Each structure stands twice: as C-alpha cells, then as structure tokens.
Structure 1
Amino acid sequence: MAKVLRLHSQRAANRAHTDVGTVAGVTNDESNKSSRVRISRVHLDAFRGIPKTLDVSFMHANGKPSSALIFGDNGSGKSSIVDAVEWACQKTVGRNRALYGGGSTPSLANLAASGERCAVEVTLSDGQSVRRIGSFGDGGANISGHAVPQAFSRVPMSLKRADILRFLDTPAIKRASIFMDHALGDEISSLESLTTDQQAVIEERHEAKRLMREAAANLASLIGITPPPRDANDIADMIATDVYKRIPVVDRIKVSLPRAVEEQVEVVTRHKERVQQLNQLAKRLSLPTSEKTERLLAMQSLLSGVGDWLTSAFLAVTGAPHVRRIEPKFGALSVVSLEIRITLVGRPTTTTPEKVFSEGYQDLVALLYFLAVARAAGEQGQAKVLILDDVLQSVDANIRVALMELVVRDFKDWQLLVTVHDRLWRNQLRDIFQRFGHPRIEVEIKQWNFGAGPDIVPAGTDAADSLWAAMDSSDPFAVCGVAGRLVEQICDRLSWTIPTSVKRKRGDTYTLADMWPGIMKELKRTSCADVLVRVDRWVHLRNAAGAHYNEWAESLTWAEAESFGYSALEFYSQVHCDSCGQWVERIGAKQFSCRCFTVKVINEN
C-alpha cells in the first residue's frame, strides 16, 4: 500500500513537470531540420465538427511530441482533429483544396457555430506556430494565415480511405494527376487541371500509339526483328532499313513487297499519321509542355523511385511467393499516366494488379504506394508526420495487423497520428506500438453532440490513469469496475509476454476468468506473490459490483473497493515499467523483466 501511495505522489509530480516543461529542441543540422519537425499541439475553433474550441496535445510524458491513437465512434470528431492539423500545415484537407461545402468538398466552418468563421493553430516542435483562419459569406471564402511551412511542402501528410479508392478507380492513363501536388515547392509553377477536351486528346493519342506499336510488333514478327521497336522514330527506322533497305521514299513505290508485309506497313503508317494529327491537336489545346512539364518531371522524380520499398513491403505483409517485383511506371501511356506493373516469379513479362491480384491485394498495393511516397518525401526532407485516418479499418483483417507492424517498424522515427473507431483494432494497435517500442499517447472521444462537439479524454500511455481518477471519485462501484478492467488488461498483456497456459492468437477474445488462473500459476512463487493474493481476494468484485447487478453488492463498503483498487494498481506497478513503457517478459525460469530492466519479477523459491 505504501508503495502505491509513493507511486501516486511521484506520478503527480511527473504530471506537473510535464505540464510546465518545454519541447525538446530540434537539431542544428539544417539538412535534417525540416524532417525532425513534429506536431506538439493543435487548437481548433469552430472547425468542422468542433462548434466551440478544442485543444489537443500530442505531448508524451517524456516531454516530446508523440505518435497518437485517436479513438472514438464514427462521426465523433476524430477526423476533425487530424483535418485541422493538415489544414494548418498544408492548407488543404484530404487532398481537396475546395474550401467551403458544396457537393463532396469539405465544409471547414462548423454550422452550429454559424458557419461563418473557423480557425486552427498548430504548435510545432521547433517552436513555430502555424495559424489559419477562414471566413465565409455571400462573397465566397477568404482564407488567411501563415505560409505552408517548408517542412510540409512536399507531399500530403494525410492518408484516407478515399485516397485509396480514388487511386484504384482512376485509369492508369491519368492516375499521376492524383499526385500533381507532390514534390512541388513554391518555385515551380502550378499546373492547371486538364479540360475534358485535353483529356480526350490524351486518351485518343494513347490508343493511337498503342495501335501503332501493336502493328509495328506484327510487322517486326513478319520480317524477323527482335525485339520489336516501340518508339515512333525506331519504328520508322525499321521500315526504312529492314523493309525498304534504305531506298529513298520517292522510289519505294517501285518496290514489290510480300503482301502480308505490305499490308502491315500500311497499318503502321495509318496509325502513325493519326498520332501525328493528334500531336498537332495537342499543341493547339495547350497540353502540358515546357515549364509545366518541369512540374511533372519534379513529381516523377519523387514518386518513381519507390519500387524497392514497395516490393519488399508487399512481400513482408503478404509473404506472396509468386510475386517478384512491383514497380511504378510513369509517362508510358500519357504525360499524366502512372501504371503499377507486377512481375511474377518465372514470368518474363509484367502485368497489372487487376489481372493477378484479389481486391484485397489491390487495396494493399495502393495503400503501400501512398506509404512509399510519404517515406520517400521524409527521406528528402519533409517532416516525418503521417496521418492515417481510419484508412486501415477497411483492409482485410488477415493482413491488417501485419501491415501496421510494417508501418510502425519502418516508420519508427515518425509521428503517426492514427484514428480508429473499433475497440478490438485499438487494442491490437496498442499491442503493436508497445511491442515495437514506439511511444504513443491516446486521445479518446467519449461522445459528440451537435451543439457542444466532442468530449475528449486524454488517455495517456498509462493504463492506470482511469483507476486513479476513479479512486479520486470515492465511488466504490466505479472503482470496482475500473479496477477489474485494469486487472483484465494486465492479464491480457501478460498472457502474451510471459506467456501463460492460455494459448493466444491475434484478434482473439478471452475473459478474466480464462486468463487469471494461468497468471496465478506462473507468478505465484515470485516477488509478485503477495500482491497476487490480495488481488485474488478482491477480484470477485469485478463482476459482483463493477459489471453486474447483485443485491448483496449494495452493501459494498468503500474500504473493500479501495483495497481492490490499490491491489490492482500495485500489481500493475510490479509488471509494467513507466520508463520504457513495456510489460515484463520471461528472461529465465520464473524470471521476468521489462526491456530496460527497471522492473523485475524474480523467483523467490
């Protein structure tokens, strides 16, 4: 008991220190300065689902900005929080630069707060504050605020399910247009959206080029040329050299060719002339050239070099033995084309994901591509901050955990802001972050209503926070319920890390009654024995008073509830380390320790 009270005092002191502490300074190395910027806090004022003001801190107990799990039901305001971060830092919401309502565009101002004004402010780890204000009226939208920080100027920081769907639904011939706002600093001029006529010309020219190359391949087969040429100049050279033996064009009419060859030359020539006509039309319609092409090249420079990571990530998540390579290919079909080409083991040619992958694998490839782009931008100097807005919820359950393990591992030095609405998935995410030693805080939204907005509970990383709060309330039934949940969480984690006689599998569900006997068996002869006896004495209160109605439980005293609460807290302190944030793991026979060896459970036989 005395130990728990000392822990309580120390925790209070730590909280006070954290509240007044300063954000850790950033490096003096200018080449890495931008990539080390993180989000410390965000302030929302009448923004989207927030009718009043809301402050959310991403500061960890270690005094540094941290990754965060933002949990709440659908429609509770999770996305409003991360959208505010994105709007402040990048002046956009979900790759959508439309500013105020209308169709599928995001409405920035909250309608319960008149819908005429909104503001957000983000505090960065380097001490900067980025503020953005929107005012809306009959005259339209007026957006003011700071310039987009250099640290966030390369690629969008947020990934949503809509991005994956748009990637999959956009034809390869114009898919690169999705990424037109990538890798584009202020020094490169903007590229206007393609008109319907321009896009029609691009698509028709692509088809004409395809038919020309197909006809040239047939001609090459007839005259024994391998491999067949693809470029228009190479095709013309094949006809001049291998068909007409360098005879001048004016004299070719005198040459007698095999009928099949002559017919195929005519087909090639017809398609080539159509390509030339479309090239002239493209000039008249001002399709992207010169300075605008520079922008396309800048985008391709960033996005085209991600094939190695894309391949290794896909194989790490799926273990697919039949896939050898996944490679993005730019500009082969049009100036804004982006193909994803798949090379299968034992096959010399490439194919598309649609031809060889299930819908689940296609989703995965699209998601990994966006992650690969973000990772590449981080390596080139963008701030390593990534928002995953419920994007993994729709991924097939059999690969979702493996995918998030990959993200937490390969984005280990990143700040990941993850929104989640499913409780089981939140618990799985907690386990993943913990196992990879990735610090995180939790923000929970208890409820939301139209007039007041969300009720935010900063959950922190310490599972005992809720029990300390319940102890302060002096409500014996609340204490029994929360203490029971804490003991159940302890058992759940230890059944993995010890492990116990209950055989665990990811995504399973076991009750306290299933797990408690195994925990008792493993730890009864260790330094935890005394606290186990006390927990076991009171653990029946979890169901009797904390979870279900029992008439006799009405006589429950505060002393009994308090004893259960303190026993649960002391048990937690003996198997969980506040320093490294890890649970104890087996290191020998009846010997357990956290990863930093601060907390140890030893054999006392």
Structure 2
Amino acid sequence: MTQVDLPSTYEAISRIGEALHRSRNPRSLGPRFDRLTDEQLDSRRFDYIKHQNYEPAAKASLELLRRAIQIALKQSTPKNHQRVIVALAWLIRGASVPKRSATGRQMVHEVNGGVEGFPRSLRQWVSNGGHINARHLTELTGCTPQEWRTFVDQVTATTKFVVAPAADRIRIEDRTPLDLDVATRLARIASSATSSAPVDRLPEYDRSDAKLRVTEVSVVGFRGSPARVALDLTKNGKPVDILLWGDNGVGKSTLVDGLEFALQGRVDRSSDFTSGLRPKVRNLLSPKAAANVTLSDGSRVERSLVTNGNGRDTPSHLDVRAGFRIAPIVIRRADILRFLDADALSRGAVFFDYFPEASGALGVRPDEELKLLEEERSLLRVVRADLAEQLQTLYPDQRRDLGIATELDAFVHDLLLEVSDAPGEAAVDALPETVRELVHELREAQNRLRSIKKRLERGVELLNPRAYKSQFDRVVPALQSVGGELTDSFITITRAKHVVALDVLVAKSGPMSLDVVVRFDNGTAALPQQAFSEGYKDLVALLFFLAVTKKAGDLGQAKVLVLDDALQSVDASVRVGVMDYVLQNFKDWQLVITGHDRGWLAQVRGLFSRRGRSVVERTIARWTFSEGIHVTGATRLRIETLRAGLEQHDERMTSAAVGILLEEICHELSWRVETSVKRREGDRYTIGDMWPGLCKLLRTVGLAETVDSVNQRLDLRNLLGGHFNDFAESIPWSDVEVLAEDVLHLYEAVHCDQCGAWIRKVTDKTYLCTCGALSLTK
C-alpha cells in the first residue's frame, strides 16, 4: 500500500484552509470564536450561511477545521478524519458562494474521496453540479490546477488509508489460495480450546419426578386405534423394560405417540396436529382422541385433542410434569435424519426443545414454528379454494376469482345491490343464510392467510440467533459436554482404532452452529459426512442424541426412554454394540424398544438377558381399520404356538411347532453349553447336526428320560409338521401329545421363565441361567 504521511496531509489541508479564509476575508477581521464549543460554533456557522454572512461563516469554518486537524493528529481514526474533510468542505462552500459556487462544488466533490457522513445540506449543495474555473481556483486557494490536483491526490490517498479497516492495510503478494479445509480448521480450534475452560452452568431443574417410571399407556381414538388399547409396562406389578414388536403398519407408533402426547403434549416433537403433511393424530372413526399414562407413583396423566377457535387441533392442556420437561422422551429415525440433514450452521437448533427454562413451557425449535405456519397456510389455501368453489356453484354466472379479497368484495357489493338500493344491514340480512356463512368463512380464511404471509415474510427474524439466544445459551453447555462420551462410545462400538476423537464444537462456525469433527491417527481431520459411511453417520447422530438425553437424566428428567425403530437404521455390523452400549449406560432407565425384525428381536432379547435386565415382550399381533390395535404378550412363534396346538388338538400345528421349538433349543444351547458339532460350509446347521451332541450332554444332567422319549417320536415333526403324507393321518394324537409335552419339558428345563435366559456353561459340571433359578449339574 502507498505510504501516507498524515502530518504532511493535514499541514496541506491547513494551508488550503487558510488560503480559502483569506480569499473571503483578506484582513482576517470578524468575531472571535475561541470560547465557543464545537457545537456552538457549528450552530453559529449555520446561521451565518443561512443569512448569507459569508465572511464570518468562513472564519467559523476555519476555526472548526483547525480544531478538527488537532484532534486528528492526536488520533487518526476514520471519524476524526471525516470531521477534517467535512470542515474543509464547509470552508470551501463559505469561501466560494455565491460567485464562485460552481468551482466550490467541484472542489468539495474532489476532496470528498469517499468520506461518509456529509450533512444533508452540504450533499444537496454539491449535487447541483459544478466545474472548476482555473482563475476562481487560484483566487480561492492560490493553487494552479496542477497543484490542486496534487493536493486532491494526497488527501484522497490519506482518506483511503485512514477510513479503510486496519487489517485491510496489510497485503502480502504472491500468496497461495485461501485454504478452505474446514475440518482441519475446526479440529485446530477444538485442540487449541482451553480444556479447563469453565462450562456454563445448566439450569437447576425440579428433580421431584426423577424416579418416576411408566406402568401403562392407553389411547382411544388416537392414530390407528379407534377403540381403547392399553400397553402394560410392568412385570409382577413393577415397571420394567419393554420390547414392543410388530410388523410395520400395525400400530407400534400409535402407542409410542400416545405416550409422548400424554406426557409432553407433542407427537414426533411437534405440536402440529392438523397438518395434512404428517400422520393424522385424530382417528377417523372416533370423535375423541385421547392418551393416558399411569406412572409408578400411581398418578395418571391424561391429555386429549380439542379444537380451538381457529379450527385447529390442540392439546386439552399444555402443562407438563417436571420430570418430562427437560428433553423429548422418544428418539426416532426422524430425529437422526434431522441431525444429519440440518446444515451445521443451524444444527444447534435441532436441540432447542431440550433444556428449556427451569420454570416455563417446553422449548420450541424455530424451524418447527415456521413449519407450522407453512402447513397452516397450505390448509387455508385449500379451505379458501373450497369455499370459493361453493360460492361459485351458487352463482354460476359470475366470473370473478372469489379467492382474491378484492374480487370477493366486488362480488358481495353486487349481491347487496341486487337485494337493496342501499346496501346496509337490511341488505345483508336479506342474503340467504348459506351465502352469508360462506362469505364470512371465506373472508376469515383470507384474513388469516394474509396474517400468516406477513409472519412468514418475517421468517428470517424467527431464525435470527438473537431471538433465541437465551434458549441456545441453555443448550450450549450440554452440547459442549458430550464430546468425550461421544468419542468413547463410538470407538467402543465400532472398534475403529484409526479414529482418535470426535470433537464437538458449538457456536464456532456460526451463532447456532454445531459441528462434529473426526480426528484420525495419522493427524488428518474430516467431517463425518466426508469420511464415514451412511451407517457410521447414523451412529454418530444416534449416539449424540443418547448422550444429550443422558445429560437430561442427570438434571432431573424422569429416566424413561423410547427408541422407536431407531436402532434398525444403524448398520447391522454395529447394531448389537449400540444396543449393548444403551443397556450398559442406561442401567437405571426404563427402556421401551420397538422393532419389526424378528431376527433383531432375538438378538435384543439375548442382550437383555446377558445384562440381567428384567424385560417383557409385547407384540402387536394385528391391526384392522375398524377395530384398531391388538396387543398380546411375547411374539407367538414357538412356545405359545405349541401350547395353542395342544389346546386345539391340532396334530399338524403341534408337530410343526415342536420342530421349530426344538430347532431353537438346539440353536441356543449348542454354543452356550459348548456341545460338539461337525462344521458345515457356511456354518448352516440343522437339528440333525446339533441334536446328537446336545442329547449326549442332556443325558448327563438328569434329562436322559426326556431325551430318549423325544428321540422315539422325533420323526413325527416331519411326517405331520413338515410334509403331506396320507398315511400320517393314522398316527394317534397321543404320540403327538407326548412328543409335544416332552419338548415343552425340555424347554422349561433349559430356559428360565424368571430372567428369560437360557442356561449356559459355568464350570465343567455346572450350567446356570442368569438369575440362578435354573441349575443343571452333571
């Protein structure tokens, strides 16, 4: 940048100022201004110019210029330099009017040099245009045109130097392009942050509900259930973990949504119950939509949908118990997508419905507010079109677009003229009631649409960080604190030794930003979306929600958590690790796990058993439009099917169930009790492969008689249960019944009804279930 000599510039300005003053007042006569303040002097100058007293005006301007130069020499700020240029401009004006105004205007225009803050009256004077007359210029300044041009260039260079931001003065030539590797920069920010920096305190919440658990949830007229349906979350009268299974579309979400609605007044973290863009909450066959939850202290929470004055469905009451105010109680696949799809600059807002004020309403996400407005506008547009069409049907000859407010006004005006010469109240009453109702509703829809349009136009204000600063400030401490737990859980589950850390940065790339940066063992860094598979990205999102939810539990949230099909979105390769992590880190929480994959159910059941957690299985067996949801006990595939076959004396059903249950016994025990099996390609085994080795062991632990009896009739499972054989019809029921009873006896001897676990080898001679209620010894 060109070197600038500030003292030299201001000395030159001072010389020009003196010359301007002499041109107007050669004898330097006039009033003294040394005792006046700058404000008083400026006011005096304005009055002189107003009354065309140009000589004292020039002297007052010179005095202001001298004072401005003294201040600017002490501190060369843009504002102080601006005062110098403005004072010079006033002096030029005072010296040049009226006979040399054209030259004065051009002189002011040239010395301005981009300075802002010129008074309006001065700007208007300059804007009238002008040109420099060489003789007038010399008379005013004593300069030739060339000398004036040199002076202007010096002032302009000084102005650019002083007014430009200080950092802009630094320029380095031949630099490489700006490095836009965001991940590396964020990683550096994370590593340079002071580890011991204090984290803002989270609010002190009411902890009186912290020990509450859920014992029952019931819904009626809610989502997919027109009739009342209840889900029992207890075992032996105590609240326990629940595995809620069923095919897609049979109503699992109805019960989960009912639990969330009753406790928190929301569904899928949304308070919009009228939208046509999401599943309808109010059942089509029931006038009432309600959900009830019974808690472990015996209290009940009931909430229903009511229609407000705007025709929208809202909760019957908005209050939420202290134990369910801090965070959402359900984590869904949709939450994972919200986290992944949100731009990092606004991702922090995904958690705005966590950690609200200690005493107040639940938190609200700004994107949810805008979505509610957008959806209401869509609904009202349909309402407007329908009402306009109904009016058009009544008056087919009219050609106006009645959805437009001005067109509706013109239409109504013509109607009133048709029934009366003076369209007043009497004329309105003369219109058919149907017409009056349609016009009234249509105008109401138009007014609401106009109001929503204005609010949506202010949508940027809704997303303005300042509007949500207090809410974000409460969320920040919790988000800042989960980085270590996120790293530990991710590495434990994935065993990804090349990952060193997952750093969490809040409000670094933007006021409401949330960034996750992956650091690798080779020193590089990347964002999850740059380096991870879809499954790993899902895992990061899920673990983040789990960590924040756990933080809410530490603050007094009732420890009830629903994972609604959330785990099945994670890669199968790490799904078991995630579930085991949840069981280990949410030991004192009541968990409700939903799913539809029966293979995954078997894995989850085994994980609960190995962790010694008391769990109950509930199955949604079927759903019909008219009757809704039918909830049963554990999935009826093996033991219940066998018992049902015995009760119905159905030899084929019983034989088939015997074969399936015996296969399950062989599959579960062969590795738990360590029996010998000859390996096959692909490790796919049948009863024929596993049963002989298991028989050998079972005979040594007191089950020889049962095993021998099973072997005598084992062929029945194929003769009756696996194939059609006409001669099999002659097989007596008693043989089928004995085989079934033997297999049931065997199942009850190796599978504990209390803890739900299979026996496993403890020592060379001892086999126990998890709780120790079943014990077999050699």
Please give the TM-score of this superposition, normalised by the length of structure 1: 0.74
Q: Does 1:490 align with 2:661?
A: no
Q: Which of 338, 348, 355 is matched with 1:166 structurally?
A: 338
Cα distance in 1 for residues equivalent to 2:333 and 2:758: 33
Once residues 586 and 436 of structure 1 are traced to their aligned partners in structure 2, the CA distance between those partners, rounded to angstroms, is: 16
| Equivalent position SS for 1:477 | helix
Q: Partner of 1:75 in structure 2?
A: 249
* Counterparts of residues 302-317 of structure 1 (less than 5 Å): 302-317=478-493
Task: Name the aligned partner's letter for residue 318 of structure 1.
Answer: T
2:303 to 132, 135, 139: 132
Whichever residue aligns with residue 562 of structure 1, its letter is E
Q: Deviations over 1:192-215 (max 9, x none)?
A: 72799xxxxxxxxxxxxxxxxxxx
Question: What amino acid is aligned across from residue 674 of structure 2 in structure 1?
Answer: P
> 1:8-157 alignment to 2 at 5 Å?
34-60=209-235, 62-103=236-277, 105-111=278-284, 113-114=285-286, 116-136=287-307, 139-145=311-317, 147-157=319-329
1:372-424 C-alpha deviation (Å, 9 max, x unpaired): 11112122221221111112222212111222121222222222211111121
Distance, in Å, in 2 between the alignment partners of 1:552 and 1:461 is 30
**Which position in structure 2 is the counterpart of 1:439?**
614
Q: Which structure has more RCO (C-alpha within 8 Å, separation ≥ 6)?
A: 1
Instruction: Report the alpha carbon displacement of residue 369 of structure 1 after superposing the two structures with TM.
Output: 0.6
Q: Which of 535, 555, 565 is 1:360 aligned to?
A: 535
Structure 1 counterpart of 2:776: 601
Kindly state the Cα deviation for residue 32 of structure 1 after the two structures are TM-superposed: 6.5
Offset, 1:522: 2.5
Partner of 2:464: 287
Query: Within 1, Cα distance between the matches of 2:691 and 2:702?
Result: 17
**Post-superposition CA distance 1:418-447 (Å, at most 9, x none):** 111112111111111112212211111222
Tell me whether 1:474 sits opposite 2:649 in the alignment: yes
The answer to whether residue 351 in structure 2 is matched with residue 179 in structure 1 is: yes
Aligned CA distance change for structure 1 residues 109 and 406 (closer, same or farther; 3 Å): same
Which residue identity does 1:457 align to in structure 2?
T
Cα pair 1:100 1:106 within 8 Å, conserved: no
Structure 2 gap segments, 5+ residues each: 1-204, 371-457
Runs of 4 or more consecutive aligned structure 1 residues displaced over 6 Å after TM superposition: 281-286, 460-463
- Alpha-carbon distance in structure 2 between the residues aligned to 1:588 and 1:400: 31
Q: CA deviation at 1:463?
A: 7.0
Q: Secondary structure at the match of 1:381?
A: coil
Within a 5 Å distance, the mapping from 1:305-454 to structure 2 comes to: 305-347=481-523, 350-454=525-629
Amino acid at match of 2:243: L
* Counterpart code for 1:571: L
CA distance in 2, matches of 1:353, 1:425: 27
Deviation of 1:302 after TM superposition, in Å, equals 2.4
> 1:481, 1:546 within 8 Å by CA — same for their partners in 2?
yes
1:523 aligns with 2:698: yes
| 1:156-207 C-alpha deviation (Å, 9 max, x unpaired) | 11111111112111110000111111011462576672799xxxxxxxxxxx
Deviation at 1:319, TM superposition (A): 0.6
* Alpha-carbon distance between aligned partners in 1 of 2:699 and 2:264, rounded to the nearest angstrom: 55
Separation of aligned partners in 2, 1:193 and 1:31: 25
Does the 8 Å contact 1:476/1:556 carry over to 2? no
Structure 2 letter corresponding to 1:77: G
Asked whether the equivalents of residues 288 and 305 of structure 2 are also in contact (C-alpha less than 8 Å), the reply is: yes
1:296 aligns with 2:472: yes
Describe the shift of the 1:63–1:87 C-alpha distance in structure 2 as closer, same or farther (beyond 3 A): same
Q: Is the 8 A contact 2:609 2:770 kept in 1?
A: no
- Output the CA distance in 2 between the equivalents of 1:590 and 1:559: 36
- The size of the alignment, in residue pairs, is 483
2:239 aligned counterpart, secondary structure: coil
- Give the partner amino acid of 2:505: K
CA change 1:509–1:283 in 2 (3 A) is: closer
1:297, distance to aligned residue in structure 2 (A) = 1.3
Question: What is the CA-CA distance between 1:468 and the residue it aligns to?
Answer: 3.7
> Does the aligned pair in 1 maintain the 2:223–2:280 contact within 8 Å?
yes
Residue 54 (structure 1) shift: 0.8
Q: Indicate the larger mover: 67-76 or 353-362.
A: 353-362
Query: Deviation per CA, 1:275-306, whole angstroms, max 9, x where unpaired?
Result: xxxxxx9999993448x422211112223211
Q: What RMSD over aligned residues (CA atoms) do the two structures have, in Å?
A: 3.0
Say which SS state the counterpart of residue 209 (structure 2) adopts: helix
CA distance in 2, matches of 1:99, 1:283: 24
- Kindly state the Cα deviation for residue 466 of structure 1 after the two structures are TM-superposed: 4.6
Q: Which runs of 5+ in 1 are unaligned?
A: 1-29, 197-280
> Contact between 1:522 and 1:590, CA under 8 Å: does it hold in 2?
no
Closer, same or farther: CA 532–369 of 1 in aligned 2, 3 Å:
same
Give me the whole-angstrom Cα distance separating, in 2, the residues matched to 1:468 and 1:286.
Answer: 60
AA matched with 2:315: I
8 Å CA contact retained: 2:346, 2:514: yes
Please report how far the alpha carbon of residue 338 of structure 1 lies from its aligned counterpart in structure 2 after TM superposition.
0.8
Q: Distance in 1 between matches of 2:572 and 2:462?
A: 48
Over 3 Å counting, the alpha-carbon distance change for 1:596 and 1:284 in structure 2 is closer
- Distance, in Å, in 2 between the alignment partners of 1:384 and 1:565 is 43
2:725 is the counterpart of 1:553: no
Q: In structure 2, what is the Cα distance between the partners aligned to 1:356 and 1:283?
A: 33
Structure 1 pair 382/553, CA: closer, same or farther in 2 (3 Å)? Answer: farther
CA–CA separation in structure 1 for the residues paired with 2:461 and 2:307: 39
8 Å CA contact 2:210–2:323 kept in 1: the answer is: yes
After TM superposition, give the deviation of residue 318 of structure 1 in Å. Answer: 0.6
Pair 556,59 (structure 1): closer, same or farther in 2 beyond 3 Å: farther
Whose radius of gyration is greater, 1 or 2?
2
CA distances 1:202-235 after superposition (whole Å, capped 9, x unpaired): xxxxxxxxxxxxxxxxxxxxxxxxxxxxxxxxxx
Please point out which of 745, 753, 756 is paired with 1:570: 745
**2-side partners of 1:39 and 1:122: how far apart?**
7
Instruction: Please report how far the alpha carbon of residue 74 of structure 1 lies from its aligned counterpart in structure 2 after TM superposition.
Output: 1.0
Report the structure, 1 or 2, having the larger helix content: 2
- In 1, Cα distance between equivalents of 2:590 and 2:636: 15
Q: Give the match for residue 275 of structure 1.
A: none
Q: Could you tell me how far apart the structure 2 residues matched to 1:92 and 1:401 are?
A: 30
TM-score, normalised relative to structure 2: 0.58
Give the secondary-structure state (helix, strand or coil) at the position aligned to 1:117. Answer: coil
Secondary structure, in 3 states, of the residue corresponding to 2:234?
coil
Distance 1:91 1:52 in 2: 21
Question: Identity over aligned residues, as a percent?
Answer: 38
Letter in 2 for 1:293: K
Shift in alpha-carbon separation, 1:549–1:448, aligned structure 2, 3 A: farther
Aligned residue type for 1:123: T
Cα 1:524/1:295, change in 2 over 3 Å = same
* AA partner of residue 564 (structure 1): L
1:188-203 pair list within 5 angstroms: 188=360, 193=366
- Greater strand share, 1 or 2? 1
1:442–1:461 Cα contact (<8 Å) kept: no
